[in-house]
Amino acid sequence: MRRPKAVAVLRFQGFCRAFAMLKTGLDMYVFRDGRKSFSGRELLNRLATAFACVSSKSDRDCELRALIAAGELECALRDAADSHPQWEKSARAAERLTTIAAKIFIRNSRAGLAEAERIVGEMKVPETLAIAVFEGFSYYALHPTKFLEIIKNRKLEKKSAVIGVRSIGAPLSAVVAAAIGDAERITVRPSGHPYERELEITEVFRKFVARHHRDEFVIVDEGPGLSGSSFLSVAEALERCGVTAAQITMMGSRKPDVAELRTPNASERWPKYLFLPTSVEPVLPKGAGQSIGGGWW
């Protein structure tokens, strides 16, 4: 006689729980490409709507939406320009829009808004663009103001240049660059296995480093994740271009247990660089009452 389906499911769930309790030394993770395709015009209109909201009222939510929408468009166009140079002009315009949005967000000023609206009205975009969800903003309560707290608590010792790791590093790098004095910034996208990311040293990257060879380099991203390899790929690319480890600062959303990082030789590689984590405390909206998270309710 066949077993009822519900019984079979319960037995399978019990097996999974029992297996998880065993000290097998095995871990399984599934990595996916989380990017989705959107109409280029849709992303541009989303940003135009966000800037219109900023223009019509003084509202922090509008400012944050503009920053995120600008960062999404920047990432999509910079990725497109990396493989199709005809979109380079649009990518640079999108970078300017994220910079303006970041300044509006951190300074609560409308300076640059008219320029942003003009750029949006003139910009050309591909028919289709791909973007990934900014997981730190969407799922992990990462708020851009947490990076402002890092800068407030530790003044950088010298002139700085900022490198954002795409995707979320685009808007975060714009916030950090504006906060430390309108620093020049670029974004990069390391590639390869999630545990062994590598960064290709392009001519654009090499020239950026050369312009700031005496400065401090600030690498900005969410994380580190399981491996820390995205941060390390950028830091080590800087060293290959002649930058010293002492010139490199990494800013992320959590302080890792270096012994647990999955990238090869992490215990020797990671400590070479200064890492500044954000606060673990959530940024609560204005007027929020007592937290009911974590079982307190």
Q: Where are the domains of the chain?
A: 35-132, 137-277
Phi, psi of 294 (to 5 degrees): 60, 25
295 φ/ψ sector (left φ>0, alpha ψ -120 to 50, else beta): left
Q: What is the CA radius of gyration of the chain?
A: 21
- Give the Cα separation of 213 and 197 in Å (integer): 24
Token pair belonging to 189: 């996208």
* Spatial distance between the Cα atoms of 142 and 279, rounded to a whole number of angstroms: 10
Strands 35-39 and 128-132: antiparallel
Local structure of residue 263 (DSSP, 8 states): S
The structural architecture, per CATH, of the domain 137-277 is: 3-Layer(aba) Sandwich (3.40)
Distance separating alpha carbons of residues 184 and 171, to the nearest angstrom: 14
For each of the chain's 297 residues, which pLDDT tens digit applies?
Answer: 444 444 343 344 444 444 443 444 556 566 556 678 999 999 999 999 999 999 998 788 999 999 999 999 999 999 999 999 999 999 999 999 999 999 999 988 888 999 999 999 999 999 999 998 888 887 777 899 999 999 988 777 679 999 999 999 999 999 999 999 899 999 999 999 999 999 999 999 999 999 999 999 999 999 999 999 999 999 999 999 999 999 999 999 999 999 999 999 999 999 999 999 998 887 777 777 776 666 655
